[in-house]
Structure 1
């Protein structure tokens, strides 16, 4: 195990999009929605608060007091629905720095997390959380420095707007780009910039090309991409490790196994995100 000063670990707690899908056919990849943890140097970063955040929170209870930075890509339900069940936020002396892009209507990430916990949607308000919650508004292109860790942001192509993140530390980088739709005639420059020569690229691969372009049930305009487009980005950006993420809830374990085989045939260093997957990013000498 690396010392706190030189560690760079990525762990997946929720890998699904749209809605949780627990069941016998999703056991191996998992059914919780988006949540990825990065332990980088002395810092703990969490990306998105889907139902995977509840599971992460349970694992953190024995560590109190806890300090972490929680970055939201956007506030669609599958990315925030775990926050009301994030147990460490209810514990005094725990500190969470919470970041997000204001919505097009001006609503801050604090307002949106607050509003989902109001009656009749939830029995207790956000104010019941006794942890120290500090909220920060981000703008696309803004850079956040957390100790020796740098977090770059970039705008994604998603209804209601979303942010992608690039985490850099010790000469290495990991990129979290989910809920973004590719363009029909070009690669997204914002995504390419974030992904440039990344050690790990975690990217939205909700659909296959066949599903996306299906004339009877087209997914064009829905705000998500395909694994084939993820490979194109990884190739163009000279990415070392590609991780396909935000699996469609209708994709069972067998279907995802097939996608994995097809993706590896094109880009050998491909993984499919699954709950419990841990990636160690080696720190440069």
Structure 2
């Protein structure tokens, strides 16, 4: 078995929420919007298509022709705006399986990706893409079987709805739960279920509790959570590694450093997502029969 077939790794290409925020004060954590790649059991899974997807696409040129599976949480702009700039999708011989839930108005993920590339919003239509694009409509709670890789889904608490994912492979698991707002009086049962005993939980922690409850600029109802709530979920779900994700564009590197320092005091296996880092649940050089106690982080 090749190392690619034997690994479960997570690669962060875009970790910022709402809008790209490049500049001198966001260099360490990055300014690209959400895109996370998982290489699991020989398959390449891509979660969301924010501006980080463009950077991922550049890295894939040496791996073509390629087949990959793309999973969208929802179609708010920061999660799809990199798709028109994903160059491997323009190259014949590549194949992308694209999954997403139906929008509340009935629009499919294909329709929504297509619509953002229509005039006058974009000069090149989706139909110009030369790769084979196969679209699949999901309903909340559906499972997806990709050989021995199994994905579970669930409804997240977000305006216009969003879908959370859990990836399972040979006893290992990672949960991708972004663009969700916690409830004031209880933990979200769907979130806890998707995260239960996960090796890695990637969670939307856009705000701090102070920002979320600010009397001057409350974020209640905006569809995002806090790092303090992320820790509550991580503890309740018994996850091994918590990754704070979907950073607010106003949070510069120094502010995120401070969040990280505070979070680690409450949940030691916490890290803040940064562009370019890799989490190795099962490193390419390690047999899946070995007992890995926690994910290894590499830059």
Please give the range of the TM-score, normalised by the shorter of the 2 chains.
Answer: over 0.9
Where does residue 216 of structure 2 map in the other structure? Answer: 216
Q: Deviation string for 1:229-251 (max 9, x for gaps)?
A: 00000000000000000000000
Listed as ranges, the matches of 1:159-238 within 5 Å are 159-238=159-238
State yes or no: 1:27 paired with 2:48.
no
Alpha-carbon distance, 1:170 to partner: 1.7
Tell me the CA shift for residue 70 of structure 1.
0.2
Q: CA deviation at 1:6?
A: 1.4
User: SS of 1:262's equivalent?
Assistant: helix
Does structure 1 residue 10 correspond to structure 2 residue 7? no
How do 1:25-104 and structure 2 match up within 5 A? 25-104=25-104
Q: TM-score, normalised to structure 2's length?
A: 0.94
Task: Give the secondary-structure state (helix, strand or coil) at the position aligned to 1:49.
Answer: coil
Structure 1: gaps (5+ residues): none
**CA deviation after TM superposition for structure 1 residue 163, in Å:** 0.3
Q: Kindly indicate whether the alpha-carbon contact (under 8 Å) linking 1:91 and 1:130 is maintained by their aligned counterparts in 2.
A: yes
> Is contact 1:6–1:170 with CA below 8 Å preserved after alignment?
no
Question: Aligned equivalents of 2:77 and 2:190: distance in 1?
Answer: 24
| Cα displacement string for residues 55-108 of structure 1 (whole angstroms, at most 9, x for unaligned residues) | 000100121101000000000000000000000000001000000011000000
Residue 114 of structure 2 is matched in structure 1 by 114
1:144-194 CA distances to partner (integer Å, 9 max, x unpaired)? 001110000010000000000000112100000000000000000000000
CA distance in 2, matches of 1:215, 1:99: 39
8 Å contact kept, 1:171–1:284:
no
Name the SS of the counterpart of 2:265 in structure 1.
helix
Unpaired runs of 5+ residues, structure 2, are 283-287, 291-299
TM-score (norm 1): 0.99
Q: Equivalent residue of 2:60, what SS?
A: helix
Q: Is the 8 A contact 2:5 2:43 kept in 1?
A: no
Q: Distance in 2 between matches of 1:209 and 1:5?
A: 41
Per-residue CA deviation, residues 189-245 of structure 1 (Å, 9 max, x unaligned), is 000000000000000000000000001100000000000000000000000000000
Could you say what secondary structure the match of 1:281 adopts? strand
CA distance in 1, matches of 2:4, 2:271: 26
TM superposition outliers: structure 1 runs of 4+ over 4 Å:
none
Aligned residues: 284
In the alignment, the residues of structure 2 paired with residue 71 and residue 114 of structure 1 have an alpha-carbon distance, to the nearest angstrom, of: 16
Deviation of the 1:274 alpha carbon: 0.3
Distance 1:209 1:64 in 2: 44
Deviations 1:100-125 (A, max 9, x none): 01100000000000000000100010
Report matched runs for 1:120-159 at 5 Å. Answer: 120-159=120-159
